[in-house]
Amino acid sequence: MRYRHPDRDQIRVDGVLSALGHPVRLAAVRVLDGGGEHNCGSVLAELGITAKSTMTHHWRVLRDSGVIIQEPSGRENLLTLRRADLDARYPGLLDAVLAGARTDEDGDRSPGASPS
């Protein structure tokens, strides 16, 4: 099975932001941001997800939005973050989203934020 991936000029900011707006997909992208190809199983293990079926929809959303490349390789799929395409299309966007996710995870507040 071959997957369809949008060309760089077909990647839309609303699709990217929508894809990255889900915590599971954002966590997967953070794993992929380490570089290189990852098989689905290794990403699932790092996220602590045991059911492959849970991620099928998430991989499709990330792929269709242009965030990842998903290529079959034998009995598994290899995932690669499309960092170069995203940086060329929307410079700084991915870095800002990933930095925001790290800040949220650390519990830091932005300047001027009111306490909870």
Sorted by where each begins, the domain ranges of the chain are 8-100
| pLDDT band at residue 106 under the 50/70/90 scheme | low
| pLDDT band at residue 66 under the 50/70/90 scheme | very high
- Between CA 109 and CA 82 the distance in angstroms is 29
Q: Which residues contact 88 (CB under 8 A, 6 or more apart)?
A: 8
CB 59 within 8 A of CB 40: yes
| pLDDT band at residue 107 under the 50/70/90 scheme | low
pLDDT at 105: 66
CATH number, domain 8-100, options 3.40.1190.20, 2.40.10.10, 1.10.10.410, 1.10.10.10: 1.10.10.10
Q: Which amino acid appears at position 6 of this protein?
A: P
Q: What percent of the chain clears pLDDT 90, i.e. is strictly above it?
A: 71
| pLDDT band at residue 21 under the 50/70/90 scheme | very high
pTM: 0.85
